[in-house]
Amino acid sequence: ILNVEQSPQSLHVQEGDSTNFTCSFPSSNFYALHWYRWETAKSPEALFVMTLNGDEKKKGRISATLNTKEGYSYLYIKGSQPEDSATYLCAPLFTNAGKSTFGDGTTLTVKP
Amino acid sequence: DGGITQSPKYLFRKEGQNVTLSCEQNLNHDAMYWYRQDPGQGLRLIYYSQIVNDFQKGDIAEGYSVSREKKESFPLTVTSAQKNPTAFYLCASSIDRGGENIQYFGAGTRLSVL
């Protein structure tokens, strides 16, 4: 089983704070990485698909970067809002495995 | 609406009983997946299927079985051999196994042991 680590495990911020968290993964045989957002009582939904070293993706106040050489991806949220409260999962894929491996997630709570 | 339907939402299993969780998709996706989530942990892959009549074991397949007789259906059976079945189970699908193809998830089934 490939080791995918997400940190921190949980995060509590005030509305308006900017925050970021990390997904670390083995750099060899990297193929792609997905970020998902999982809100309470809902299904996980995809945020970003990242494939190239140096990739930067943005959706509103949320952005992500990718470093395939050192094996990490950062997710940034600018000006957090209560509706950003969710668990954020990363799932890298590797060329020698036909499936994603999910990290344990970072649970973000944004207090009004 | 297109999507993935899991049923039931809650399921209870007695000791020694096999139970089957349903997963149906109308997205015309080739690939389907079953994940298990335990408290404080991420999603662990149980089984996945790339095409009808074909499936592969994931990281924690012991005590589970699947079938893929139709493109739209991928039921998961939790057998009596699974000694710790209490968990939240998620089904997902994607167009295929290509790395750029995101997964779409169902609403999940929560299984508990009586």
Q: What is the pLDDT of residues B71-96, one digit of tens each?
A: 999 999 999 988 899 999 999 999 87
Chain A residue closest to B101 (CA)? A49
| DSSP structural state of residue B63 | T
d(CA B48, CA B23) in angstroms, rounded, equals 12
From the list A31, A89, A93, the residue facing B43 with the nearest CB is A89
Chain A residue closest to B43 (CA)? A102
Digit-by-digit pLDDT tens for chain A (112 residues) are 678 999 999 999 999 999 999 999 998 888 899 999 999 999 999 999 999 999 999 999 999 999 999 999 999 999 999 999 999 999 998 876 667 889 999 999 999 9
Looking from the CA of B41 toward its CB, the CA atoms found within 13 Å total: 12
Please give the C-alpha separations between residue A62 and each of A56, A77, B24, B33, in angstroms, as whole numbers. Answer: 11, 5, 31, 27
The burial of A66, by beta-carbon neighbours within 10 Å (0-12 exposed, 13-18 middle, 19 or more buried), is given as buried
From the list A31, A45, A105, the residue facing B99 with the nearest CB is A31
Residue numbers in A near B41 (CB within 8 A): 104
Candidates B4, B77, B84, B34; CA nearest to A42 is B4
Q: Is B54 at the interface with chain A, CB within 8 A?
A: no
d(CA A67, CA A62) in angstroms, rounded, equals 17
Cross-chain Cβ contact A102/B100 below 8 Å = no
Return the structure tokens found at A99.
Answer: 């499936």
